[in-house]
Amino acid sequence: MRIGLFFEIFAAIVGYLASNLWLNLVTGLLVSLSFSGSALVTLNQFIYPIIITTIQIVLALIAYLKMKGLFSELEMTTRDMSLAKIGLLLAIFPLVMYIGYILIAAGLYSIGEKYGSDFNKNVMRIGSLITGIPLLNFVGLIFNYIAIGSIVPFVPPVKQYRPPINVPPYQWQPGYQPGYPYYQSYQPVQVYQMGQGVLKGNVAMLSLFSTGQLRINRASLEGFNTFAIRIEPLVVVPGKNDIKVEFPETLQGLTKGSTYRLKIELEANVTVYANLINE
């Protein structure tokens, strides 16, 4: 995501330069036409605008390829992602790139609202508003580039590699009838909660026991439709693992002493439900 924003920042700057070159060229032609009655056009006048515009299109296309995937993954859980994808496409073309930046700003704003901490949320609010302003788009994108670095968005489950099944080769022998071949058994990794977890404000503390090593993809508190912005550590290893989960802000509506359920999704399609007592 940050790599895509990096290219989008430079695409916006180069696009601004290209717009100025084309505007100056058209203005000069109109002035020449009004004074002399004819507009003299040479190929050299178009070289620099064409080169700069080509660079802008290439940079915006790279940004589109880098950012489209994340917007697609967030489409089911975060609003305005469809608009953001359209904005990425429009930002490739100089004539409509400013409309594209307005749509991109809407998507970045929604990501900040859903996944950002209080500080990052405010930075992305300001950045998204500035991104929608023509000629200042790159300034807003810089704000978003800074803030989004510490946001943990939705990470799609990673398919776990399963080792191939070893089947002993069949060798024919006179009078020998082969029985059932031996298949190597595969034991999936098991993860479960140890003891009782604690929820204090926007931070949850709990312990998990794992029989193998798995990456934690995301965590959410059931009934509140909010996802964690920070999980430490992100990988569970064999044995006991003390996990710290941080949510964007203090959750409203929690009852002191009540038990809540935390949904933890790991790779290999492993899901763990942990009980938390609100203190």
Residues 108-149: tens digit of each pLDDT: 888 888 776 677 788 888 988 998 888 888 898 998 888 877
**Spatial separation of the C-alpha atoms in residues 199 and 253, rounded to whole Å:** 13
Q: What is the CATH number of the domain that holds 241?
A: 2.60.40
Whether 103 shows a pLDDT value over 90: the answer reads yes
- The pLDDT mean for the chain works out to 81
Q: Which of 52-56, 62-66, 186-190, 199-203 has the weakest average pLDDT? A: 186-190
**What proportion of the chain, given as a percentage, has pLDDT over 70?**
82
In a domain, 166, yes or no: no
Residue where a domain stops, chosen among 95, 124, 148: 148
Residue where a domain stops, chosen among 88, 118, 148: 148
In a domain, 107, yes or no: yes
Cis, bond preceding 233 (omega within 30 deg of 0):
yes
The total number of structural domains in the chain stands at: 2
- 34/115 same-domain check: yes
- 11/72 same-domain check: yes
Residue 40 pLDDT grade (very low, low, confident, very high; cuts 50, 70, 90) = low
Q: The domain containing residue 216 runs over which residues?
A: 191-278
- 195/122 same-domain check: no
pLDDT for 165-221, tens place per residue?
454 554 544 544 444 444 445 578 889 888 889 998 888 999 999 988 999 988 988
In a domain, 35, yes or no: yes
In a domain, 159, yes or no: no
Whether 20 shows a pLDDT value over 80: the answer reads yes
- 13/141 same-domain check: yes
- 199/139 same-domain check: no
